[in-house]
Amino acid sequence: MQIHLNHSVSFFYDHKEQYLAKRELFDQIVRNFVSNQGGFLIVSDDLTFVRTFKGIVKALGITQDCLRCEMRSVEYFSQMHGLLKQNKQLILLVEAFSNGVSNTSHFRQIKDAVGDRVNIICLSSELNRDVLFLFHEMGADNVIIKPVSMNSIIEKIAYTIKPNNLRTLVDKAKERIAEGEFAHAKAVIDEIFKINPDSSIGNILMGDIYQKIEKFDLAETSYKRASSKARMYLEPLERLAVLYEETEDKGKRLEVLEKMNTLSPLNHKRKIDIGDAYVDLGDAITARNYYDAAVGVVRKHARDQVVASLMEVGKKVMQVDPEQGIGYMSEAMEMKSGDFSMQDMWMFNEIGRHLRKQGRLEEAIGYYTNALEIDPENEGLFYNLAMAYLQGKRYFKALEYAQKAVEKNPEILDANISVPFSIARICFHANKSAQAEKYVQMVLARDSGHPGARELQRQLLQAGKG
């Protein structure tokens, strides 16, 4: 028994040491990236994520100048180009959706404009496999699913940076291929295979050479090998589709297009290409099915754009006509009804907030409750429910949901000083004096002169004396 125990302890410490060594390696990769004039641009209104990232900057001891944050997605293009004037390379961490509008359509434009100088990490709370494939296909180098820890963010960045000389070799090989220097390109690709014998990009580059010199069978073999090794599969399959188009092999091209459609079914242009392929084969019925599917994807995208516009108009109209503003938002919710995902939580929070302002608490509570069926781990929804119940003076229900919000994510207390203050008020009214005092102290630790917290503390002292 003692021998087994010692073995277990040894096993534990060995794995702990391996974990710490790996952790330090990732940390150093990020430090080196910054010291070599690398920078970060975060495009997100998720204050928890931004605060977590700032914690990484502080923990790693890297300069604050390496980080720029932008809440408005429409502004980040100019920010990105400005940062590239002072940084050799940039990691762009951008939300997949901002207020219901997709940012992913810009990824390819960014890649075409600045190439590998910008690596894109797409931020999302969406775990749907089809959506994740689309992010990669649109040009994302990596995806972070929120909520996420500091260590996980560092690891994602480290893998995205690819700290060895692989990136340099790939760029050099591409240049040589573009210039027609295939022997030199082959020598560079050999260096890539020394680093990673199973390299997918190495096989793709070899396929590119074989396709250029019209050794199509060898190109096909290289692309297929790359497809078997590539994590997301799509790039080598795209190459195969182009190859089969060039060699006029309609059957194989259609097979590849359909495989890509299975992997990434949200690309409407590919569905149209498949429809065209079936027309060429004389199969009008199957072609029509793919055309209909393409239209379905486009309609969904168009509907989401209308929904986002209705919400935006609703917010603006609220300032002059609250009733009409709520009407626009309600129309947006109705249009989206039955097809909500975690990406749509902002809509529930927005309409709920405005309904609370109008004193329509039961309607707000209804929206928040419906949203929790879609995203039951969302601490913001629990907090908003607590605020609605507090406003309605249903203090014990408010306390129930406030406690759930903190349980789901304790960092919510750091998001804004109003959060611990509001929970202190809930605890006070629910006759939970000790808990109220705890949250009051949290507020005063950040703002010793906070008038609301000072007054609540006075009331707690008075109640204690009574």
Tens-digit pLDDT profile for residues 163-215: 456 777 888 899 999 999 999 999 999 998 988 888 888 999 999 999 999 99
Confidence band (pLDDT; 50, 70, 90) for 32?
very high
Pairing of strands 38-43, 97-98: unpaired
* pLDDT for position 8: 47
Rounded to whole angstroms, how far apart are CA atoms 164 and 37? Answer: 16
Say whether pLDDT at 2 is over 50: no
Q: What is the pLDDT of residues 419-459, one digit of tens each?
A: 999 999 999 999 999 999 999 999 999 888 899 999 999 99
The backbone torsions φ and ψ at residue 376, rounded to the nearest 5 degrees and listed phi first, read -70, -5
Structure tokens at 61: 């001891």
The CB density around residue 269, as the number of other CB atoms within 10 Å, is 10
- Bridge-based pairing state of the strands 97-98 and 101-102: antiparallel
Give pLDDT, residue 365.
94
Answer whether residue 397 shows pLDDT above 50: yes
Structure tokens at 7: 């073995």
pLDDT at 36 over 80: yes
Exposed/middle/buried for residue 53 (C-beta within 10 Å: 0-12, 13-18, 19+): buried
Q: For residue 252, what pLDDT is reported?
A: 95
Q: Does domain 2-161 have CATH number 3.40.50.720?
A: no
Secondary element (H or E) of residue 204: helix 200-212
Q: Is the peptide bond before 147 cis (omega within 30 degrees of 0)?
A: yes
Whether residue 375 has pLDDT greater than 90: no
Q: What angle separates helix 345-357 from helix 379-391, to the nearest 10 degrees?
A: 10
H or E stretch including 145? strand 142-145
Model confidence band, residue 111 (pLDDT cutoffs 50, 70, 90): confident
Per-residue model confidence (pLDDT) at position 430? 92
Q: Encode pLDDT of 269-304 as tens digits.
A: 999 999 999 999 999 999 999 999 999 999 988 888
Q: What is the mean pLDDT of residues 358-384?
A: 91
Of the listed ranges 73-77, 197-201, 264-268, the one predicted with least confidence: 73-77
Alpha carbons 312 and 228: distance in angstroms, whole number: 45
List, as one string, the DSSP characters of 268-331: HHHHHHHHHHHHHTT-HHHHHHHHHHHHHHHHHHHHHHHHHHHHHHHHHHTTT-HHHHHHHHHH
Q: How far is it, in rounded angstroms, from Cα 135 to Cα 77?
A: 18
* Cα–chain center distance at 180: 39
CA–CA dist 168, 30 (Å, integer): 18
Residue 322 Cα distances to 43, 224, 314, 317, 328, angstroms: 30, 59, 8, 7, 10
Which CATH number does 166-266 carry? Answer: 1.25.40.10
Report the C-alpha gap between 239 and 231 in whole angstroms.
15
**Coil/strand/helix, residue 40:** strand
Say whether pLDDT at 9 is over 90: no
pLDDT tens for 295-346 read 999 998 888 888 888 988 998 898 899 899 999 999 999 998 878 877 788 8
Q: How do the domains of the chain map onto residue ranges?
A: 2-161, 166-266
Q: What are phi and psi of 101, to 5 degrees?
A: -100, 130
Q: Looking at per-residue confidence, does 103 or 257 come out higher?
A: 257
